[in-house]
Structure 1
Amino acid sequence: MKKSRLLGALAGLAATAVVLTGCSAGGSADDRSNEDGKTLKLWHFESEDSAMGKAWKESIKVFEKETGAKVEFQEKSFEQIRKTASQSLNSDQAPDLIEYNKGNATAGLLASQGLLSPLDDAVEKYGWDDKLAKSLQTTARYDDKGVMGSGSWYGVPDYGEYVEFYYNKDLFEKYGVEVPKTQADLEKAMATFESKGVTPLAESAAEYPLGQLWYQLALSKADRSWVDDYQLYKNPVDFSDEQISYATKTIKDWTDKGYISGDATGMKAEDAGTAFISGKYPMFFSGSWWYGRFTTEMQQDWGTFLYPGAEMSPGSSGNLWVVPTKAKNKTLAEKFIDITLRPDMQAIIGNNGGVPVAAEESDITDAKSKELIANFNTLTGRDGLGYYPDWPTSTFYDQLNAGLQSVLNGSSSPKQVNEELGQQYADGVKAVTG
Structure 2
Amino acid sequence: MDIAKSMKVAVAGIVAAASLLSVSACGPGSSKSASTKSEPVSTSIGSEKIELRLWDGAGLKTFDDQLIAAFQKKYPNVTIKATYDPDNTSQQNGPRVISAADTPDVARITDVNSAVRGKHVVNLDEYAKAYGWDLPDSQTEVYRANSKGKIGSGSLYAIPDGISMTGMYWNKKVAKQLGITAAPTTVDELEADMKKAADAGVLAVMMPAKEGGTSYLYQALLTDYEGRDAVQNWIVQKSGATFSTDGAVKAAKKIKSWQDAGYFSKDALALDGSTAVSRFSAGDALFFPSGSWYSANINKALGSDAGWFAFPGTKADAQSAAANAVTAFGIPANAKHKNAAAAFLNFLQSDEARQIAVDNGYPPIGEGKTPKTDNHLLGEILTSYAALVKTGNTTDYINNATAGMQASALVPGFQSLLDGSMTPQQFVDSVQAQYEKETAE
Normalized against structure 1, the TM-score is what?
A: 0.75
**Which residue number in structure 2 is paired with residue 263 of structure 1?**
267
**Which residue number in structure 1 is paired with residue 351 of structure 2?**
343
CA contact (8 A) 1:162 1:313 kept: no
CA change 1:60–1:240 in 2 (3 A) is: closer
CA contact (8 A) 2:216 2:322 kept: no
* CA drift at 1:64: 4.1
In the alignment, structure 1 residue 277 sits paired with structure 2 residue 273: no
Of 171, 176, 191, the residue aligned with 1:187 is: 191
**Which residue number in structure 2 is paired with residue 22 of structure 1?**
none
Judge which range, 318-327 or 134-143, deviates more: 318-327
Of 43, 48, 67, the residue aligned with 1:59 is: 67
Counterpart amino acid of residue 149 in structure 1:
G
In the alignment, structure 1 residue 379 sits paired with structure 2 residue 383: no
In the alignment, structure 1 residue 108 sits paired with structure 2 residue 113: yes
In the alignment, structure 1 residue 314 sits paired with structure 2 residue 321: yes
Of 146, 150, 156, the residue aligned with 1:147 is: 150
CA distance in 2: counterparts of 1:333 and 1:316, whole angstroms: 25
CA contact (8 A) 1:221 1:243 kept: yes
CA distance in 1: counterparts of 2:50 and 2:390, whole angstroms: 43
CA change 1:201–1:314 in 2 (3 A) is: same
**Which residue number in structure 2 is paired with residue 23 of structure 1?**
none
**Which residue number in structure 1 is paired with residue 55 of structure 2?**
42
* Identity across the alignment (%): 24
* CA drift at 1:274: 3.7
**Which residue number in structure 1 is paired with residue 21 of structure 2?**
none
CA distance in 2: counterparts of 1:362 and 1:378, whole angstroms: 11
Of 408, 416, 420, the residue aligned with 2:418 is: 408
CA contact (8 A) 2:234 2:243 kept: no
Q: Deviations over 1:248-298 (max 9, x none)?
A: 222222223332235333444444334333333321222334334543454
Counterpart amino acid of residue 140 in structure 1:
Y
| Pairs aligned (count) | 390
Counterpart amino acid of residue 405 in structure 2:
F
CA change 1:107–1:234 in 2 (3 A) is: closer
Q: Deviations over 1:43-93 (max 9, x none)?
A: 246567xxxx55x4322213344245243343743x543354345555679
Counterpart amino acid of residue 249 in structure 1:
K
CA distance in 2: counterparts of 1:359 and 1:236, whole angstroms: 32
CA contact (8 A) 2:226 2:248 kept: no
* CA drift at 1:410: 3.7
CA change 1:45–1:169 in 2 (3 A) is: farther
CA change 1:183–1:60 in 2 (3 A) is: same
CA distance in 1: counterparts of 2:93 and 2:208, whole angstroms: 22
* CA drift at 1:369: 5.2
CA change 1:350–1:170 in 2 (3 A) is: same
CA contact (8 A) 2:234 2:242 kept: no
Alignment of 1:146-165 (within 5 A): 146-165=149-168
CA change 1:57–1:208 in 2 (3 A) is: farther
* CA drift at 1:313: 1.8
CA distance in 2: counterparts of 1:309 and 1:284, whole angstroms: 17
CA contact (8 A) 2:211 2:273 kept: yes
**Which residue number in structure 1 is paired with residue 30 of structure 2?**
none
Q: Secondary structure at the match of 1:138?
A: helix
CA distance in 1: counterparts of 2:173 and 2:85, whole angstroms: 34
Counterpart amino acid of residue 141 in structure 1:
R
Q: Secondary structure at the match of 2:290?
A: strand
Alignment of 1:19-34 (within 5 A): 31=36
* CA drift at 1:155: 0.7
CA distance in 1: counterparts of 2:217 and 2:227, whole angstroms: 17
Q: Secondary structure at the match of 2:226?
A: coil
CA change 1:336–1:32 in 2 (3 A) is: farther
CA change 1:239–1:211 in 2 (3 A) is: same
Counterpart amino acid of residue 221 in structure 1:
Y
Alignment of 1:222-233 (within 5 A): 222-227=226-231, 229-231=233-235
CA contact (8 A) 1:353 1:368 kept: no
In the alignment, structure 1 residue 397 sits paired with structure 2 residue 420: no
CA contact (8 A) 1:64 1:71 kept: no
CA change 1:407–1:145 in 2 (3 A) is: farther
CA change 1:30–1:255 in 2 (3 A) is: farther
Counterpart amino acid of residue 341 in structure 1:
Q
**Which residue number in structure 1 is paired with residue 28 of structure 2?**
none
Q: Secondary structure at the match of 2:254?
A: helix
Counterpart amino acid of residue 314 in structure 1:
A
Structure 2: gaps spanning 5 or more residues = 1-32, 39-48
**Which residue number in structure 2 is paired with residue 3 of structure 1?**
none
CA contact (8 A) 1:118 1:153 kept: yes
Counterpart amino acid of residue 345 in structure 1:
A
Counterpart amino acid of residue 148 in structure 2:
K
Counterpart amino acid of residue 378 in structure 1:
A
In the alignment, structure 1 residue 427 sits paired with structure 2 residue 437: yes
CA distance in 1: counterparts of 2:98 and 2:414, whole angstroms: 31
CA change 1:111–1:369 in 2 (3 A) is: same
Alignment of 1:184-263 (within 5 A): 184-207=188-211, 209-227=213-231, 229-231=233-235, 236-237=240-241, 239-261=243-265, 263=267
CA distance in 1: counterparts of 2:122 and 2:278, whole angstroms: 37
Structure 1: gaps spanning 5 or more residues = 1-27
**Which residue number in structure 2 is paired with residue 15 of structure 1?**
none
Q: Deviations over 1:85-134 (max 9, x none)?
A: 34555567965544456xxxx43344334454433454345x1x524234
Q: Secondary structure at the match of 1:193?
A: helix
Normalized against structure 2, the TM-score is what?
A: 0.74
CA distance in 2: counterparts of 1:269 and 1:93, whole angstroms: 38
